[in-house]
Amino acid sequence: MMIKSGTKINRTEKNHIRGKRWGKMARISNNILCGALVAIVAVLVFSLVFAKIAGRPPAILGYQMYIVVSGSMRPAFDAGSLVLVKPMGPEQIKSGDIITFKGFGERGALVSHRVVAVDISDEGHYHFTTQGDANDVADPNPTSAKNLVGKVVLAVPYLGILLEYAKTKRGLFLLIIIPLSALLLYELLGPCPYPKRIKTEKQAGEKGSYGNTPRSRRHLAPRKEDKVGTEN
């Protein structure tokens, strides 16, 4: 009986220690995640502000961000998507790549279409024949290398709508400033019940939660007749 009772207590203590370890790992993971979110939001805010001041498209880690306004590339990506464009030289572009380039016309609106053919002149000049995935025919005019912006490497559905809204004063306040402030306040002033819990556990240990009180030891101590029986 003594051995079974002692084994039960040891298992309880092991489970308690294991639970504390998992709790500590969860707290560390939560802090890392919150810190990463704060960093991402801070970088996004800086990119938006800098782009607005410089009059350039927002960029992050060397990738330019553009918002798709038409469905010509459906199903690859639809209107409202956010595309990340990596600037590349014309020699790095091959057939099948989706590129962003300046279209023809006075405004020179940006277009993101798939390359269906690459032509190189005798002088070494590159021209790209492009076509939207949702279009039945290729674009009428080939794109020269000087109008190339870069290659589309990632498209995130609907994120462009949020980014466009974040450019407004109200959107910047609701989507950037408030979440960033909330995360910072959570990190600085968030609930920290650990000292109270440690105090509670200490008090529970003093009261003999795990059989460490003199009364528990007296209860678990072998009786005289049990000791005699064991020696025999």
Q: For residues 94 and 96, what is the distance between their CA atoms, to the nearest angstrom?
A: 6
Give residue 139's pLDDT.
95
Per-residue pLDDT tens listing for the chain (232 residues): 444 444 445 666 666 666 666 766 776 777 677 667 666 766 766 776 777 777 787 888 889 988 899 999 999 999 999 999 999 999 999 999 999 999 886 667 899 999 999 999 999 999 999 999 999 999 999 999 999 999 999 999 988 887 778 777 887 787 777 877 877 777 677 554 444 455 555 555 555 544 444 444 444 445 544 444 444 4
Give residue 200's pLDDT.
54
Helix, strand, coil percentages in the chain from 3-state DSSP, rounded to 5: 50, 20, 30
Give residue 217's pLDDT.
45
Predicted confidence (pLDDT) per residue in 71-83, tens digit: 999 999 999 999 9
Q: For residues 172 and 178, what is the distance between their CA atoms, to the nearest angstrom?
A: 9
Give all domains of the chain, ordered by start, each with its CATH number: 54-186 (2.10.109.10)
Which stretches within the chain are classed as H helix? 2-54, 159-166, 169-172, 178-189, 194-206, 214-220, 224-231
- Number of Cα atoms under 13 Å in the Cβ half of residue 208: 10
Q: For residues 221 and 217, what is the distance between their CA atoms, to the nearest angstrom?
A: 6
In whole angstroms, what separates CA 84 from the centre of its chain?
Answer: 16
Predicted confidence (pLDDT) per residue in 100-143, tens digit: 999 886 667 899 999 999 999 999 999 999 999 999 999 999 99
Q: Which residues pair with 143 in a beta bridge?
A: 128
